[in-house]
Amino acid sequence: MPLTSWKDPFLMKPSPWTSLSAPHGQIEVPTGLFIGGEWRVASNNNTFEVQNPADETVIAAVADASPEDALEALSVATSVQKEWGATTTRHRSNILRRAYDLLIERKEDIAWVMSSEMGKPLAEARGEVQVSADYIQWYSEQVPQQRGGYSDAPNGGYKIITTHQPVGPSYLVTPWNFPLSMGARKAGAALAAGCTVLIKPAALTPLSTHMFVQLLHEAGVPEGALHLITTSSASRQSKALMSRPTLRKISFTGSTAVGTTLLKQAADHVMASSMELGGNGPFVVLSDADPVEAASGAVVAKFRNAGQVCVAANRIIVEKSVAPAFREAFLAKVAQLKIGPGTEEGVDIGPLVDENQRNNVRKLLEDAIGQGAVVLAGGETAPGAGYFLPPTVVANASLDSAIATNEIFGPIASIYEAESDDQAIEIANGTPFGLVSYLYTRDINKAIQAAERLESGMVGINRPVVADPAAPFGGIKASGLGKEGGHSGIEEYQIEKYIALTV
């Protein structure tokens, strides 16, 4: 249904909204800050524009929070923390369950807005809304089932009791490439744990998060427990918030460079931190793999969301005996991908999120070609509006080149040949990053042995997608610390308290 039904006069006061036209009707989207249970303009009345990357048109102007706005939100969140943290797990579970129902009900509206502001194909946007709902459902089911511990001390004389308490006000910084699911994965866990929440979405794609926050408000998250503080200056806002000891948790998804800065700021107040940072994911095809099956998986792992995925296949490493068959099948499947505006049905590859992102990806391609890489498909950008880059495949890039050592974050696949299965694993591990690895083989023993050798927090064996609400998501080395989802997702926002009871 159109989102006009969101403007319930009994829930809201007059506030900033915008109207977007979709084939199924007008969609009303809030564009203000959400502080203390109300949508409002920024205190300085500043705004910034949100652009459709498919045609470069401006689709909305969003409130641009000042650091003072963010600090006000933190003050309210701090004052409400004790009350919200004392609510029952069943109460919080019921709120999240209502949020799940609303996400499913409004899937088409949210998907259209997401595709318009980010560029991803509608089919992928619908899938993201569903995954976001699945995360909310998972947390709603997990939090009432959390258990503490009660046992005898090994030497007797007292009891060991453990319980969970919310860590406190939490600052959630989400990326532009998955604007809804990253917010749902973080906010769902934090709210389930009993933490008050401040969300800062990426300035490029804030509207999906605006819709999500309104939905959580309607589901019953009380005034003051949830805040949205959009800003065009993330560094100024984060520095102001991180300087306050009342903020007790930072969860960030983004670049390793920004993550390390936030960790340094968090150190001043020994703040709990979760970081999902950069990746350089290898896609390893061993000598016994089915090359056609591996090629199908590689297309998904590489080109989903136009390659703008932290867990995208960054380096496709193929053992030389299966390389020719893999390359033939891979190029045939890449040639079938349709490029165009994400809001058009049937599109596989939408635009990159903005001009800077496209330029960054082009530079990686040009550098690889300059060092001897061969372009097997794509490479040329069509003229016209929109930040499009066709699906591109290169081979023979140097392992020292920028395209091999940096996160590509675009629709360029770089293929490397390995002399042996062992060398393929060595190449895969030759990076400071360790978020995800993909592995294709038909031998279960090889699969387990290679998975244990791969230096990453996650490994997908014969499958190109690893994220699941029931599984812990996170990396090692320069790719971050902490987990999201799974049984540990809620615990990232809790303190495990130990109580020694003499009996």
Q: Which residues are catalytic?
A: 276, 310
**Alpha-carbon span 132 to 152, nearest angstrom:** 41
Among 261, 258, 263, smallest CA distance to 481 is for 263
* Site of tokens 């083989």: 441
Tally helices (H) and strands (E) across the chain: 15, 24
Radius of gyration for the chain, computed over Cα atoms and rounded to the nearest angstrom: 23
- Cα angle 103, 105, 107; round to 5: 60
The tally of CA atoms less than 13 A away on the side-chain side of residue 243 is 10
* Site of tokens 């990453």: 456
3-state per-residue secondary structure call for 369-432: HHCCCEEEECCCCCCCCCCCCCCEEEECCCCCCHHHHCCCCCCEEEEEEECCHHHHHHHHHCCC
**Alpha-carbon span 315 to 405, nearest angstrom:** 9
DSSP-derived pairing of the beta strands 226-228 and 197-200? parallel
**Alpha-carbon span 266 to 219, nearest angstrom:** 32
In three-state secondary structure terms, 153 is coil
Both tokens assigned to 373: 């890489």
Angle separating helix axes 107-118 and 122-142, nearest 10 degrees:
120
Both tokens assigned to 145: 């089932």
Which neighbouring-strand residues pair with 170?
A: 197, 249
For residue 45, give Cα distances in angstroms to 63, 114, 121, 195.
7, 25, 33, 29
For residue 233, give Cα distances in angstroms to 66, 130, 494.
8, 30, 29
Question: 141-180 burial by CB neighbour count: b if 16+ within 10 A, else e?
Answer: bbbeeeeeeeeeeeeeeeeeeeebebbbbbbbbbbbbbbb
Both tokens assigned to 289: 């793999």
* Site of tokens 């805040």: 227
Q: How many residues does the chain have?
A: 503
- Cα angle 185, 190, 196; round to 5: 135
Both tokens assigned to 100: 């799940």
Among 430, 394, 387, smallest CA distance to 412 is for 394
